């Protein structure tokens, strides 16, 4: 599974925060959508996702967790994406190592 060339949207509460998640997605070659449309390839859903998750599921869009998203952007060519700032890369490493999505 690769993020490159995919359209990704985010919903719900993300432990890493929206801005770092967007940064990670874009650095991995994905396009970030502000809302769920039929063109979205993955919806990253945190707690309290609400109607965006319901709509994505109705359209058959894969809904993934924040940890799955971290795996998606981390394993681009076997390494953490180099374009991420240190804080975002650190958050992704923490989530991957511990599986904990609490705010860091």
Q: Is the predicted pLDDT of residue 48 greater than 70, yes or no?
A: yes
Domain spans, the chain? 7-98
User: What is the predicted pLDDT for the residue at 51?
Assistant: 94
Tokens 């993955």, residue located: 42
pLDDT over 50 (residue 26): yes
Average per-residue pLDDT in the chain?
82
Per cent of the chain over pLDDT 70 is 70
Q: What is the pLDDT of residue 77?
A: 41
Please name which of 88, 43, 91 lies closest in space to residue 65, comparing C-alpha atoms. 43
Residue whose tokens read 């707690």: 47
Coil, strand, or helix at residue 74? Answer: helix
Q: Tell me how far the alpha carbon of residue 55 is from its chain's centroid.
A: 18
pLDDT of 20 over the 70 cut: yes
Please identify which residue in the block is written with the tokens 């509460």. 13
d(CA 25, CA 81): 10
Q: Are 10 and 21 in contact (CB under 8 A)?
A: yes
C-alpha dihedral over 6, 11, 14, 17, to 10 degrees?
70
CATH architecture of the domain with range 7-98: 3-Layer(aba) Sandwich (3.40)
């Amino acid at each position: 599974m690769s993020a490159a060339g995919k359209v990704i949207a985010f919903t719900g509460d993300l432990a890493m925060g929206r801005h770092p998640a967007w940064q990670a997605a874009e650095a991995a070659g994905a396009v970030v959508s502000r809302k769920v449309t039929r063109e979205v390839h993955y919806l990253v859903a945190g707690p309290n996702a609400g109607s965006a998750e319901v709509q994505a599921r109705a359209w058959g869009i894969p809904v993934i967790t924040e940890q799955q998203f971290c795996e998606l952007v981390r394993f681009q060519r076997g390494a953490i994406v180099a374009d991420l700032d240190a804080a975002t890369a650190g958050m992704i490493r923490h989530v991957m190592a511990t599986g904990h999505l609490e705010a860091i």
